[in-house]
């Protein structure tokens, strides 16, 4: 029992100590100069050399800081200056006797109009005798000040009890709003306009609103309303007047675009193209896709629905994106070249890749070249990346299929650029790999890694230009360059030996 009491006591002590530490705020926690100077919980002072907030020297009056701050403003700006810590969104300053000074209180000023009070501070309005601070409705003591609260919501003067309360029901809202663009619904969502001004509870459904001025929304603001001249109705397609006879007019009637027009006028819910029975309604379906009027019916505006009078790719593309023409006229959706089944349609595939017509439509690649191309030059003029293949037709160029008339590295490079083609024994090309695979002297320059090769005349082969491959000293057929390299290698070997001795 005693232990329980003890634990409870400790808990209470813990909670109170935490609350204490939360509410206690230290000057050093305030990081900006403005927060430091304007906070009104504790007296702080900004140390501009250290850029820190510290406890205030008691000798300095806090008002001086405000006064200094307010000093900077002219008559017009002064009453609207930045908010201070304890004056909500209102000015920290007030215009008093020709100067801008620290705001203290509205009530010392005897002014009888709101504009005179506002000229001192935007926090002040009049109660008819002197200025009072804008506050909660129930703080206003006089009817004249009982207009709006700190949150800009309306107040209501209760003449029975002679007090000011929040205008929290439709009938308590004022007869005229300022500014007059505001509506009853902006203030309280379930209110609508009343004949003669002011607000009244909205009818539940549109059909319950008896006046045109009330006929905007239903009570829950889920349904827009429409005044048909004598009655208020739900603003749905079916309730549109029959004078509306175009798709645009129905889009204006219901701005979400969900209505289109119909036979004999009026509107109907937009669904599919097929559902439209007149051309005026044949514009778009509910997915916002185009419709096409064939003359007798409405269909989706897709390639397959194009009229057979369209016989060119450009006419088909204009009908709908991605369409090409087809045999007999009309259009079909492009895809691979094979989507085109007549030569006039066979131009480019859907990816803008060239097509060729060779009894069927095919991608313009080397292997698809017609067999009638039988020479290297024909294949080259067909497509610069092709060469001829045996039996006719073309193939893609590789180093190995280069014609044997090519006998320099440059010619091989031109044949198939950037593919490391070099010439080889007997002409033609091969891929540049290792020096030892290079078969002729003219090709023996560098391997595929860019390391030098040299032509070893004695063996008639191409070798890596490394010391191990250096020709023996008694071979005086080598070039001068190789000789120097040999000398270098000998010297290098000598140095290695010295080092190891
Ligand atoms: C304001 O009016 C009150 C009387 O209503 C008067 O006592 C007071 O001196 C006036 N103050 C100023 C600043 O005129
Ligand atoms: C409002 O309309 C709904 C259906 O549209 C109906 O069930 C309801 O009774 C109506 N309410 C009033 C007050 O007329
Ligand atoms: C409005 O609608 C009601 C009910 O449908 C109808 O009786 C009335 O004639 C309509 N008014 C006009 C001007 O069309
Ligand atoms: C071309 O395609 C159309 C539609 O896809 C088809 O009706 C026609 O028979 C085809 N013609 C040929 C020659 O394949
Ligand atoms: C090679 O093929 C193309 C594409 O089909 C063709 O236009 C050209 O006439 C052919 N060349 C020869 C010589 O047949
Ligand atoms: C072989 O390839 C290397 C690296 O790409 C290049 O530097 C060298 O010139 C090529 N050899 C010949 C003979 O083209």
Closest-CA residue, ligand 6 atom 2, reads 448
Mutating to test ligand 3, I would choose from 215, 229, 241 the residue with most ligand atoms within 8 A of its C-beta, which is 229
User: Among 54-68, 86-100, 286-300, 374-388, whose mean pLDDT is lowest?
Assistant: 54-68
Q: Which of 203, 205, 218, 219 to mutate to test the pocket of ligand 2 (most atoms within 8 A of CB)?
A: 205
Measured from the Cα of 218, ligand 2's closest atom is: 1
pLDDT 10s digits, 332-380: 999 999 999 999 999 999 999 999 999 999 999 999 999 999 999 999 9
Q: Which atom of ligand 6 is nearest to the CA of 413?
A: 14
Residue 118 tokens read as 């506002």
Q: What's the gap in Å between 150 CA and the centre of ligand 1?
A: 26
Task: Report how far apart, in Å, the C-alpha atoms of 163 and of each of 59, 149, 255 are.
Answer: 44, 14, 45
**Which residue, by CA, sits nearest to atom 14 of ligand 6?**
422
**What is the residue-wise DSSP string for 435-448?**
GGG--SGGG-SB-T
Number of helices and strands in the chain (H, E): 10, 26
Residue given tokens 């349609």 in the structure block: 345
Q: Which ligand is nearest to the CA of 207?
A: 2
Q: Whose CA is nearest to atom 6 of ligand 6?
A: 450
Q: Which atom of ligand 3 is nearest to the CA of 230?
A: 11
Structure tokens at 494: 């000598």
DSSP state of 139: G
What is the reported pLDDT for 415?
94
Query: Measured from the CB, is residue 46 less than 6 Å from ligand 5?
Result: no
Give the whole-angstrom CA distance, residue 15 versus residue 24.
Answer: 14
Q: Which atom of ligand 5 is nearest to the CA of 358?
A: 5
Residue 472 CB less than 6 A away from ligand 5: no
Among residues 338, 119, 385, which one has the least CA distance to residue 376? 385
For position 72, what pLDDT does the model report? 76
What residue spans of 212-311 are helical by DSSP H?
A: 247-253
Q: How far is the CA of 432 from the centre of ligand 6 (A)?
A: 6
- Rounded average pLDDT over 127-132: 93
Name residues contacting ligand 3 (CB within 6 A).
228-231
Is 355:363 a contact under the CB 8 Å cutoff? yes
pLDDT of residue 300 exceeding 70? yes
Q: Which atom of ligand 3 is nearest to the CA of 241?
A: 14
Distance from the CA of 50 to the center of ligand 6, in angstroms? 67
pLDDT bin (cut points 50, 70, 90) of residue 299 is: very high
- Tell me the percentage of the chain whose pLDDT exceeds 90: 54
Q: Which atom of ligand 6 is nearest to the CA of 438?
A: 13
Query: pLDDT of 219-232, one tens digit each?
Result: 999 999 999 999 99
For residue 308, the ligand closest to its alpha carbon is 4
Give the Cα-Cα-Cα angle 168, 172, 173 (nearest 5 degrees). 90
Where does ligand 4 bind, in terms of residues with CB under 6 Å?
Answer: 326-327, 332, 341
**Minimum CA distance residue for ligand 3 atom 4:** 231
Please name which ligand lies nearest the alpha carbon of 96. Answer: 1
320 CA to centre of ligand 4 in angstroms: 19
Which residue has better confidence, 186 or 51? 186
419-478 tens-digit pLDDT: 989 888 888 998 888 898 888 888 888 888 888 888 888 888 899 888 777 766 555 545
How far, in Å, from the CA of 382 to the mean position of ligand 5? 7
Would you say the CB of residue 446 lies under 6 angstroms from ligand 6?
yes
Q: What is the pTM of this model?
A: 0.61
Is any atom of ligand 2 closer than 6 Å to the C-beta of 208?
A: yes
**Ligand 5 atom 3, closest CA:** 382
Residue nearest to atom 2 of ligand 2 (CA): 205
Residue with tokens 């079909």: 332
Find the mean pLDDT for residues 198-203: 92
Nearest CA to ligand 6 atom 11: 446
Predicted pLDDT of residue 108: 86
Among 9-13, 140-144, 238-242, the range scoring the smallest mean pLDDT is 9-13
For ligand 5, is residue 383 a contact (CB within 6 Å)? no
Of the listed ligands, the closest to the CA of 131 is 1
Beta-sheet pairing, 394-396 with 386-388 = antiparallel
Q: Which residue has the higher pLDDT, 331 or 78?
A: 331
- Quickly tell me which residue has 């009530």 as its tokens: 107
């Amino acid at each position: 029992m005693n232990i329980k009491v003890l634990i409870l006591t400790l808990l209470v002590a813990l909670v109170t100590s935490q609350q204490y530490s939360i509410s206690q705020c230290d000057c050093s926690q305030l990081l900006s100069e403005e927060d430091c100077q304007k906070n009104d919980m504790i007296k702080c002072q900004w140390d501009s050399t250290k850029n820190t907030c510290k406890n205030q020297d008691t000798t300095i009056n806090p008002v001086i800081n405000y006064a200094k701050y307010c000093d900077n403003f002219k008559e017009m700006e002064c009453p609207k200056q930045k908010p201070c810590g304890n004056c909500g969104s209102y000015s920290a300053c007030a215009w008093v006797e020709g100067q801008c000074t620290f705001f203290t209180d509205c009530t010392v000023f005897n002014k009888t109009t709101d504009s005179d009070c506002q000229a001192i501070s935007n926090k002040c309005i009049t109660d008819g005798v002197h200025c009072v601070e804008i506050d909660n409705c129930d703080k206003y003591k006089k009817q004249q000040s009982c207009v709006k609260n700190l949150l800009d919501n309306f107040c209501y003067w209760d003449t029975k009890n002679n007090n000011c309360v929040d205008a929290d029901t439709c009938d308590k809202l004022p007869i005229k709003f300022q500014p007059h663009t505001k509506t009853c619904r902006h203030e309280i969502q379930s209110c609508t306009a009343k004949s003669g001004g002011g607000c009244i509870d909205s009818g539940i459904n549109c059909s319950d609103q008896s006046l045109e001025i009330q006929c905007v929304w239903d009570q829950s603001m889920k349904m827009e309303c429409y005044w048909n001249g004598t009655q208020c109705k739900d603003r749905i397609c079916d309730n549109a007047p029959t004078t509306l006879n175009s798709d645009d007019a129905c889009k204006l009637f219901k701005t979400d675009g969900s209505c289109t027009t119909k036979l004999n006028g009026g509107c109907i819910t937009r669904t599919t193209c097929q559902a439209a029975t007149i051309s005026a309604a044949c514009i778009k379906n509910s997915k916002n896709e185009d419709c096409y009027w064939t003359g007798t019916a409405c269909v989706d505006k897709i390639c397959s629905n194009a009229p057979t009078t369209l016989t060119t790719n450009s006419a088909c593309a204009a009908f709908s994106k991605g369409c090409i023409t087809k045999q007999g006229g009309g259009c079909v959706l492009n895809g691979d070249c094979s989507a085109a089944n007549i030569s006039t349609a066979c131009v480019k595939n859907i990816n803008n890749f060239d097509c060729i017509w060779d009894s069927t439509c095919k991608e313009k690649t080397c292997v698809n070249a017609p067999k009638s191309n039988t020479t290297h030059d024909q294949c080259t003029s067909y497509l610069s990346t092709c060469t001829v293949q045996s039996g006719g037709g073309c193939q893609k160029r590789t180093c190995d299929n280069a014609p044997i008339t090519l006998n320099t590295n440059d010619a091989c490079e031109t044949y198939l650029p950037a593919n490391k083609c070099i010439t080889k024994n007997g002409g033609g090309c091969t891929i540049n790999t290792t020096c030892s695979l290079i078969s002729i002297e003219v090709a023996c320059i560098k391997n595929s890694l860019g390391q030098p090769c040299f032509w070893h005349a004695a063996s008639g082969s191409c070798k890596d230009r490394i010391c191990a491959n250096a020709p023996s000293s008694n071979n005086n057929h080598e070039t001068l360059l190789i000789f120097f390299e040999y000398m270098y290698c000998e010297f290098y070997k000598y140095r290695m030996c010295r080092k190891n001795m």
